[in-house]
Structure 1
Amino acid sequence: MTNLLYFSTVSAIIMFFCGLWSFVSYHKHLLSSLLSLEFMMLGVFWLLVENSTNIGSEVYFGLFFLTMAVCEGALGLALLVLIVRIHGNDYFKSFNMLEC
């Protein structure tokens, strides 16, 4: 059981750092940045749920965190649709900061 717990914790940490690496290195499109942020949030959620079940605390905090992550994802997709409608693409280089 201890090996499974260790493997699950290491997997969640690797998941978070893979999302962080993809966020830092692949920042050409807004969609890839949003997907890597969501991948990082899933890694944090996995670690949070795993630790809360080991401690024996309530699971409702994990559900609240998952709800906030889903709301963050929906907000990011809404902004992506708005940016694609205004600019025509989601390249970061095509955004002009003076057009607000």
Structure 2
Amino acid sequence: MILVYISSVLLLFFLWAFSRQRYHILSLLVCLEAVMLSILVFFYFLSILYSFSSHLFLMLLVFAVCEAAFGLALLVSLLRLRGVDFISALSSVR
């Protein structure tokens, strides 16, 4: 039960860190992956505690992997287009 509380505190911490990122998209993606990892840990311990099936855990794991691949692909395309990974480069019109 304590592991569920620890993972929920980690989730809140990583959400706070995600909201504080203002400069680089790569650090934003790392915080987003940390949020997904804490959600996965939370659901894993919750499924062990209440003996749920692991379908929700596997579905979240697949979405986390797809989100990571999509985020890195967008980051690479932004780096090729603009040359920088600043968040301010997204709003500039060329």
For 2:26 and 2:7, the matched residues in 1 are separated by: 22
Where does the alignment leave 5 or more consecutive residues of structure 2 unmatched? none
Matched to 1:81, the amino acid is: V
Q: Which residue matches 1:51?
A: 46
TM-score normalised by length of structure 1: 0.84
Q: Which residue matches 1:88?
A: 83
CA RMSD after TM alignment: 1.4
Where does the alignment leave 5 or more consecutive residues of structure 1 unmatched? none
User: Aligned pairs, how many?
Assistant: 94
Q: Which residue matches 1:78?
A: 73
For 1:16 and 1:36, the matched residues in 2 are separated by: 10
Describe the superposition over 1:5-39 as per-residue Cα deviations: whole angstroms up to 9, x where unpaired.
21x11221121122112111122100111111110
TM-score normalised by length of structure 2: 0.89
| Higher RCO (C-alpha under 8 Å, 6+ residues apart) | 2
Q: What is the percentage of aligned positions where both structures have the same residue?
A: 30
Larger radius of gyration: 1
Q: Which residue matches 1:38?
A: 33
2:72 match: secondary structure:
helix
1:95 match: secondary structure:
helix
Displaced runs of 4+ in structure 1, greater than 6 A? none
For 2:84 and 2:62, the matched residues in 1 are separated by: 29
